A = this chain, B = another copy of it.
Amino acid sequence: MAEQHIRVVLVDDHPVVRAGVRALVDAQGDLDVVGEAADSARALAVVEETRPDVVLMDLSLGEGPGGAETTRLVRAMPSPPQVLVLTTYDTEADVLEAVDAGAAGYLLKDAPPEELFRAIRGTARGETVLAPSVASRLLQRAASPAPKVSPREVEILRLLAKGLGNKEMARELLVSEATVKSHLSHIYTKLGVDTRAGAVATAIERRILRP
């Protein structure tokens, strides 16, 4: 064999998923699962200790820092492993955040095992691996202008979903009511709506807000 075995660490808060990936991956001759972690802190410790080639990262890790933030921390380590995101959702925001955090690939949990194996091997070689649905979604978005809402506007959206009025938001954010209205107008144009209700709906749909 010219190739070394590829060392893999699993990060996922679901024991069932960890067991599944381990069972599938360990059955491959050239892939070894050398560690598991259920949260961000343990993930960093396990990676530090086992020095894997690839980290399979879930994005939702229950309590504490999420998978995107954990990816960033892992990639900040000296001679870091590649990170392959393995998650349930392929939302615009999720993908972009993960890629921005330094992920080398993005795969969905409903992918067939063969695709998972190919993705792990490709990621270990430094390739960028995207699930087909993720790739097409990215291309689709690349065509239409990116609707990126600013941090302040996200703040507004959060209060909006709580049913606050403009006056209340203004008090909460320590600005004038006119400012709040201005932010709202910008949000409307960015999201392609013209009402508070529509803004909340599409913000939730695009995962800018989480229910």
Binding site for B on A (CB under 8 A): 13-24, 62, 86, 88, 109-113, 116, 160-165, 193-201, 204-205, 209, 211
Contact = CB atoms under 8 A, between A and B. Distances in A.
10 contacts: A14-B109, A15-B111, A16-B17, A16-B109, A19-B24, A163-B197, A163-B201, A165-B195, A204-B211, A205-B211
Identical subunits present: 2
Contacts of A20: 14-23
A116 B201 CA distance: 36
Nearest to A191: B163
A161 B110 CA distance: 28
Contact of A23 (B19, B164, B211): B19
Chain A at the B interface: SS class: helix
A111 B199 CA distance: 35
Contacts of A15: 20, 24, 110-113
The 4 closest A-B pairs by CB, nearest first: A163-B198, A20-B20, A19-B20, A161-B201
Contacts of A113: 15-16, 19
A21 B19 CA distance: 7
A13 B88 CA distance: 11
Contact of A196 (B22, B109, B112, B196): B196
A197 B21 contact: no
